[in-house]
Amino acid sequence: MLTLKQVWDEETIQRLTEKRKTDFSSTVSEIRLMDEHRKKTQQALDSCLQKANEISKQVGDLFKKGEAAAANDLKSESSALKEKSKGLQEQLRSAEEDMKSLLYKLPNVPHAKVVAGVDETDNEVVFESGGIPAKEDGLLPHWELAKKHEIIDFELGVKIAGAGFPLYIDKGARLQRGLINMFLDHNTEAGYTEYLPPLFVNEASGIATGNLPDKEGQMYHMQVDDLYAIPTAEVPVTNIFRDDIVNPDKLPLKCTAYTPCFRREAGSYGAHVRGLNRLHQFDKVEIVQVTHPDKSYDTLEEMLQHVKALMAKLELPYRILRLCGGDTTFASAMTYDFEVWSKAQDRWLEVSSVSNFETFQANRLKLRYKDETGKTQLCHTLNGSSLALPRIVAALLEHNQNSDGTVSMPAAVIPYVGFDKIG
RNA sequence: GGAGAGAUGGCAGAGUGGUUGAAUGCGGUGGUCUUGAAAACCAUUGUGCCGCGAGGUACCGGGGGUUCGAAUCCCUCUCUCUCCGCCA
């Protein structure tokens, strides 16, 4: 959520409008109006309460002195004030609520470097690891390779749970486990602290990360206990720092966590969701950083390099996009997407998204630090996948298939999975 | 699932209607002392909102009520702990 200061700042709103190519002016002016109303109400309420407090003291004194008659006169005055304050309090509460729901409507302001744009066609390719490999005949898509080698069974997954819940078997299962370990090691070696968080979160956590109340339909909800299955480790990990005022000497905070991720993906069907392309349950290793505002773009760059190094170990063709304003996710100020090339599907697959949220998340989380002058300031938060498993596995299988039908493992993966070949 | 206890500042822990934003201890920060450190001593040490500021106001798990006045009394919700049962 944007801060009120940002909403009042003309330049900021201009950039928001320009970069996302969307007109937010009506929401902005509503918020500003509501903010002024809120301030006035607050002032009226405070002075009303101040009077009431003074009278209460006087009444106490009068009773002590035994002047009951005078005290009773003041009592009625106080009652009137109380009535008035009740109304004001109600006004203030509803003004604050209205303002909040209006604020929730505004997405983050893209960074100045982000290009203005509407959708993915405006995204910039900022890095390519070596170009798209030439087309070959007879390549099998990963779901056929998975079937052939009996390493992922989608039908059995349907039997047990439903579509989008694959069953990994034997080397397929070991590949998952090995990759998770490899990714986590890569992160902890770079100084990230490993967490194993709860896979279900309460409502407060969902609200703090912005998954609730709006995107409710995207998460699995356990009604009996009112818990939500996490769509990403970002939710529990970020909530570690909810309502925190951290010591600035401790920044940056670097966290990594492996979790399964659960997504309802309501309304997405068709050829593009085949195989491992889009699932209801998948595994992902996440990295999260909390930084000083001055450092967050250096950190974003560092995270980019970090994920690049991991991609290099996997030896897959990939590229990095810097998303344009309109394609940058709601909470993000700058996002880089990593995409691997799917050789058999002949298309790019997103495997990581690295974002700087600046204060957008921290504001809702109330994640702050104390600056040199002792004032509390919002931290910046960043996160990224390093990496999401399914599409990596898809690309890995397709990219490394040999003419005899077997699939080789990249050198860096072999010690983690304990085999060099499938089939 | 049954029975009971509790929820107060970074932590521990007082406070049962009137300068209590809250004793005390620990921790943190600054200082004195010291070659340095420790110890000791002194001071300081929550957050939000409104206000240029002085200052005001709110917050003792959440919500509601009683009262001129509530951390303190009442109702309600949530959570935590202990014992029993069940169980990886």
- From CA A273, how far away is CA A278, in angstroms rounded? 5
- pLDDT at res. A316: 94
Q: For residue A63, say whether its CB is under 7 Å from any atom of strand B.
A: yes
Q: For residue A370, say whether its CB is under 7 Å from any atom of strand B.
A: yes
Averaged pLDDT, A301-310: 97
Residue A312 — φ and ψ, nearest 5°? -60, -40
Q: Are A328 and A15 in contact (CB under 8 A)?
A: no
Q: For residue A91, say whether its CB is under 7 Å from any atom of strand B.
A: no
- From CA A311, how far away is CA A239, in angstroms rounded? 28
- pLDDT at res. A270: 63
Q: For residue A53, say whether its CB is under 7 Å from any atom of strand B.
A: yes
CA–C1' nearest nucleotide, residue A243: B47
- From CA A338, how far away is CA A126, in angstroms rounded? 10
Q: What is the pLDDT of residues A85-140, one digit of tens each?
A: 888 888 888 888 889 889 999 999 999 999 999 988 999 999 998 778 888 888 89
Q: For residue A14, say whether its CB is under 7 Å from any atom of strand B.
A: no
In the DSSP assignment, the letter for residue A216 is G
**A249/B34 CA-to-C1' distance in Å:** 28
**H or E element that contains A49:** helix A25-65
Which residue's C-alpha is at the least distance from the C1' of B68?
A75
Kindly indicate the confidence band of residue A176, based on its pLDDT and cuts at 50, 70 and 90. Answer: very high
Q: For residue A94, say whether its CB is under 7 Å from any atom of strand B.
A: no
- From CA A370, how far away is CA A76, in angstroms rounded? 45
- From CA A215, how far away is CA A211, in angstroms rounded? 5
Q: For residue A113, say whether its CB is under 7 Å from any atom of strand B.
A: no
Instruction: Select from A266, A305, A278, A326 the least CA-distant residue to A384.
Output: A305
Q: What is the pLDDT of residues A270-300, one digit of tens each?
A: 656 788 889 999 999 999 999 999 999 999 9
Kindly indicate the confidence band of residue A323, based on its pLDDT and cuts at 50, 70 and 90. Answer: very high
Specify which residues A21 forms β-bridges with: none
Averaged pLDDT, A195-199: 91
Q: For residue A419, say whether its CB is under 7 Å from any atom of strand B.
A: no
Q: What is the pLDDT of residues A389-401, one digit of tens each?
A: 999 999 999 999 9
- pLDDT at res. A268: 65
Phi-psi region of A131 (alpha: psi -120 to 50; beta: other; left: phi over 0): left
Q: For residue A55, say whether its CB is under 7 Å from any atom of strand B.
A: yes
Q: What is the pLDDT of residues A73-98, one digit of tens each?
A: 777 787 778 778 888 888 888 888 88
Q: Which nucleotides of B are covered by protein (CB under 7 A)?
A: 18, 47-51, 55-58, 67-69
Q: For residue A75, say whether its CB is under 7 Å from any atom of strand B.
A: yes
Instruction: Round the average pLDDT of chain A to a whole number and report it.
Output: 90
Q: What is the pLDDT of residues A344-393, one digit of tens each?
A: 999 999 999 999 999 999 999 999 998 887 788 999 999 999 899 999 99
- pLDDT at res. A16: 95
- pLDDT at res. A272: 67
Asked whether residue A149 carries a pLDDT value surpassing 80, the answer given is yes
Q: What is the pLDDT of residues A18-72, one digit of tens each?
A: 999 999 999 999 999 999 999 999 999 989 888 888 888 888 777 777 777 777 7
Instruction: Select from A14, A407, A411, A386 the least CA-distant residue to A172.
Output: A407
CA–C1' nearest nucleotide, residue A71: B68
CA–C1' nearest nucleotide, residue A47: B56
Residues 229-258 of chain A within 7 A of strand B, judged by CB, are 245
The DSSP string of A333-401 is: SEEEEEEEEETTTTEEEEEEEEEEEETHHHHHHT-EEE-TTS-EEEPEEEEEEEEEHHHHHHHHHHHTB
In the DSSP assignment, the letter for residue A32 is H
- From CA A153, how far away is CA A261, in angstroms rounded? 19
CA–C1' nearest nucleotide, residue A72: B68
CA–C1' nearest nucleotide, residue A55: B68
